[in-house]
Every structure is written in C-alpha cells, then in structure tokens.
Structure 1
C-alpha cells in the first residue's frame, strides 16, 4: 500500500554555542541552546512496497538532488538498514532554509524523514532512532522532536527547556557557504568558553537575554575566515538588535528584537544596506505550531 506523509522541517539558531572539550576521536563537545525557528523546509515522503530497499530524491534546489549525499535521502536509507525494512521511498524536498548557514536545514530535513519513517512503519524505539540520527550528524537528534533545548556532548544529550518565551529575530545570511569542518579546524583552545553557566538559564527562558548569555565559541574562527559574517553582525547591532550573534558554525547571524513589528522594521532597513545577504524576520517556534500553521499544508 502506498503511504504518504509531509512534515515541516524547521531551522534553528544556537542562542549560545560553547565548546567544553575534545574527544579522543576528534569530535568537539559542546553546551548549546538550540531554538527552532519559523523558517522551514517542507519534506514529503512516499513509501511503496518493494522487495529491496530503494530511495529516490526530488529536490527543488539545484545541487541538492544527489541521493547519496543529501541527508534527507540518507536518513531514509539508514532507517531501513537499522530496522531491517524493505520499501521504495521517494523523498520530496522543498528547500527554504539556506544551506551552509548554521541554521540546521539539512539536519532538520533528516530529522523529519526519520520522524515520518517511524510513523509510517510503526517503529517505537526512541533510543535506536536517536542512534541513527547521531550517525547522520550531530544536530540530527535534536530535530527528531525540535523544541527549545539545551544540547550537550556531541549532540546526543538533549534537555528540553520549558516554558520558553517566543523570541523575535532578524536573521541575516551572507552570500557564502561556510564549511563546518573548516571553521572547527581554525578553532583554538583559547576559544573554548566551557559549560553554560546554570545562572544563565533563567534569563534565557524568560527572554531577558543579554550579551553575556549569547556566546558562540566558533564566531572568532568563522569571522576570521569569512569577514562578511562580522559585518552583518555589526549591521544588526546598528539597526537596534538588543544582542546579535552567529548561529552554529555560520554564516548566519541573528539579532534579538523586542517584538515582531520591530524586527520586521529592522529587516526592512537592513536589506538595502546588505543587498547581497538574505535577510529575514522570524520568530522562534515549535514543531506543533508549525504543523498547525498554513505552511504545513503547502504540499499536502
């Protein structure tokens, strides 16, 4: 029987990203606040009976149609291998989140595929699903159930943060693709700030956020490699952001504003000042809110 599901795949910002150590295998450990945002890809999967596992991919963004490298199609294949399932899976991906920006678009697509595959094949094994997600990438476990969370380790330790107030943002993405590996290669030991202070959590949860809570240890190496990131961060601050910071390994930067209209007005002023950048006013959100929004019916 043919089965079809569609899900929004939200991006995220790292409100903070603090390096706490480096493992023997070379992976860095972190302490970070992940917040999903109302800037989403849409992922649809269609499954058909098959004697052997097969995955095909359709994507509306040129350059992302390789099913061997795209995280969404790789997630479908990894799921079938882990749970010994044979099916034909067609992944249809509508990209909205810019790639190579530190907003988690590819990881979110993979998380959405794993969620839908688990629902279609009636798989209820959170630990095994999380292990598959982590094999795909450090951010993918968060996107199995994206909501405000403190994320530690190499991405496998996820602590939901509730209640968390809505934050209104302007996100600016420079016209550069920032390779995560290149940024980590430029990271120095003195860049590490260590674990997030527990005293920072109450102001984060309440939205009373200051620069002392918005730390990204990857900012210095990323900005040294790609100066446009620093210029956009400064522009957000000039245009009234209470605080501004880089998300993930870059190149997206975000600024926090008092409310949605203020953020949108700032975005309108920033766009002509940064004509090569993608500038968007968004808010933090939850998967439930996205599912209930008009966007979630775009490809129903």
Structure 2
C-alpha cells in the first residue's frame, strides 16, 4: 500500500518586525518574533519510484520552476542523492502575498515530509540549512518553534510567547515585498534591542517598521488596519497584506468576524502556537511507530 503523509503547513505571524539596517548586498537587517498559528495549508505527499515530482493543483501565476514546493523537493533530492519522486497535493488556504509565510511553510513541510517519506534521515539542522537557500523564513518552519530572529531572519533563538486568539484579515490585495523594502520612506534604522528587553516589554511595545510604508502604498491595507483596530490592538504581519489583532478569548474573535461584512476581505481566527502544528503531527507519528 502506498504511504501518504498528510501534513500541515502552518501560518506564521511576525509579532514584531524591526528593521535595524541595510546591508551592502541590499538585504535588510531585521529583528522579529515569529509565532505559528493553528491554521494553514495542508500537503499530502506520496512516494513515486519513477523519479517524477508532481504537484497538484498548479498555483495560478507561479511557474513550476519558481514554486517553492517543487524547488524544495528538487533541492532535497539533489543534496541527498535520492532518486525517488513524489506526488504532492496542496490544499491552499493561506493567501499569496499575505505575509503569513505560506510559501516558506509549504517548502519546510515538503523538506520534512519527504525526508521522512524517502527515509533520508537528515537532521533538522541540515534541512534548515537547505531551507535557507530557498528563503529566509524557511528555517523557522523547519525548526518548528516560536523564535526571536535576527540577521535577515535566519538567526533563530527559541522563545515562549503568549498564545492568544488572533483574528487575521486579508484585505483583498497582494503586497509586493520588494516594493516595500525598496520604498524610499521605509524606516531602516530602528535601534536594535535585546531579546530579553523585547520579551520583557511585551506586545504593547512591539511594532512593525513596514506598516507605515504599506499603509501608503496599499490603501486597502490601511483601511483594514483602521477597521480592525476599533476592536483590539492590531498590527501588520511581515510586509503584509495580512493584519492581525490579538484577543483574550475565542468568543471575541468570533464577534469580530461576524462584523466583517466585506466581500473583498477574507478573515479567520486562529490560536497562537509556540510549537509548530507540523512538528506535533510528525512527533505523534514517530511515537506511534515506536
């Protein structure tokens, strides 16, 4: 019988995002807090013995050569010397260009899932190093724990954050990350802080340096931020377009979503997680198999 792994690819939030400088190569130095959500995409992976890598369905506007799932699978095979293939089915829930890390999370789930499915036995550290070649956000999904991140987001320190309920809204636009990071008015020199100070001061003192620029470039995001802020503290995640509010209970999240009333906005509720739902599934499988 063919083994099929059905694995989550969870969303992430940037609880804060400070831009502390710009490097000579054009990349920005960041400080951020990554936290997972119990909501995201789902990948189903089945092995093939003919070496073919097949992904269904195709993502609109994304060529196979650029798809992070297929790139992750090809990279893992090249680095391991494996000759097997896979059928991969993606159930897409996270909006593209939303700042929720959907593509990076899909890539990490592919690396971890195929590592198990193909019996490669590569360590998390090795897989995270491969993931970094695909994108700066991939390693945090591979390691699977909420983290304080520095550099371009690749230097990770595990942390324990509060785990409130969140309402997340996507205001119907896709934000181009290069447009944000190349904007002349973007704040690029926020003074660095220590992780200890960030955790001590907490959510009320965190901010996202991209938010003012995204508000200016994408008025629908500004409108959604202002609307959601009527009900709870609100922040942009990553470079957007998604924004989130944190709440003390699920009932308040439900109440806000009932008031959404916009056909061009998508909204969902989710619980914050310090341990990735993907790793919870993989560890449960390992325990059942032992």
Provide TM-score, normalisation by structure 1.
0.86
Aligned position for 2:220: 228
Instruction: Check whether the contact 1:147–1:287 (CA below 8 A) recurs between aligned residues.
Output: yes
Residue pairs, 1:113-128, within 5 angstroms: 113-120=110-117, 121-128=119-126
Instruction: Check whether the contact 1:41–1:94 (CA below 8 A) recurs between aligned residues.
Output: yes
Aligned position for 1:216: 208
**1:203-242, Cα deviation, whole Å (9 max, x unpaired):** 53xxxx31x22x111112211110111111111111x20x
- Structure 1: runs of 5+ lacking an equivalent: none
Which secondary structure does the structure 2 equivalent of 1:251 belong to? coil
Q: In the superposition, relative to structure 1, how do residues 289 and 94 fare at CA in structure 2: closer, same or farther (>3 Å)?
A: closer
2:285 is the counterpart of 1:287: no
**What is the CA–CA distance in structure 1 between the aligned matches of 2:92 and 2:12, rounded to whole Å?**
15
Q: In the superposition, relative to structure 1, how do residues 64 and 40 fare at CA in structure 2: closer, same or farther (>3 Å)?
A: farther
User: Greater CA deviation, 105-114 or 40-49?
Assistant: 40-49
Instruction: Check whether the contact 2:186–2:209 (CA below 8 A) recurs between aligned residues.
Output: no
Aligned position for 2:146: 148
Instruction: Check whether the contact 2:15–2:33 (CA below 8 A) recurs between aligned residues.
Output: yes
Of residues 251, 255, 269, the one that matches 2:241 is 251
Q: In the superposition, relative to structure 1, how do residues 233 and 142 fare at CA in structure 2: closer, same or farther (>3 Å)?
A: same
Per-residue deviation, 1:200: 2.5
Q: In the superposition, relative to structure 1, how do residues 289 and 45 fare at CA in structure 2: closer, same or farther (>3 Å)?
A: closer
Of residues 142, 155, 178, the one that matches 1:181 is 178
Per-residue deviation, 1:291: 4.8
Instruction: Check whether the contact 1:55–1:67 (CA below 8 A) recurs between aligned residues.
Output: no
Q: In the superposition, relative to structure 1, how do residues 190 and 281 fare at CA in structure 2: closer, same or farther (>3 Å)?
A: closer
Per-residue deviation, 1:202: 2.9
**What is the CA–CA distance in structure 2 between the aligned matches of 1:135 and 1:246, rounded to whole Å?**
26
Per-residue deviation, 1:290: 8.2
Which secondary structure does the structure 2 equivalent of 1:152 belong to? strand
Aligned position for 1:28: 28
Q: In the superposition, relative to structure 1, how do residues 190 and 134 fare at CA in structure 2: closer, same or farther (>3 Å)?
A: same
Aligned position for 2:288: none
Q: In the superposition, relative to structure 1, how do residues 21 and 123 fare at CA in structure 2: closer, same or farther (>3 Å)?
A: farther
Aligned position for 1:75: 72
Aligned residues: 279
User: Greater CA deviation, 33-42 or 275-284?
Assistant: 275-284
Instruction: Check whether the contact 1:64–1:70 (CA below 8 A) recurs between aligned residues.
Output: no
Instruction: Check whether the contact 2:124–2:142 (CA below 8 A) recurs between aligned residues.
Output: no
Provide TM-score, normalisation by structure 2.
0.88
Question: CA-atom RMSD, angstroms?
Answer: 2.2
**What is the CA–CA distance in structure 2 between the aligned matches of 1:119 and 1:14, rounded to whole Å?**
29
Aligned position for 2:102: 105
- Structure 2: runs of 5+ lacking an equivalent: 286-290
Instruction: Check whether the contact 2:21–2:28 (CA below 8 A) recurs between aligned residues.
Output: yes
Which secondary structure does the structure 2 equivalent of 1:136 belong to? coil
User: Greater CA deviation, 9-18 or 140-149?
Assistant: 140-149
**1:119-149, Cα deviation, whole Å (9 max, x unpaired):** 2223233333222101111111111133321
Aligned position for 1:168: 165
Aligned position for 1:45: 45
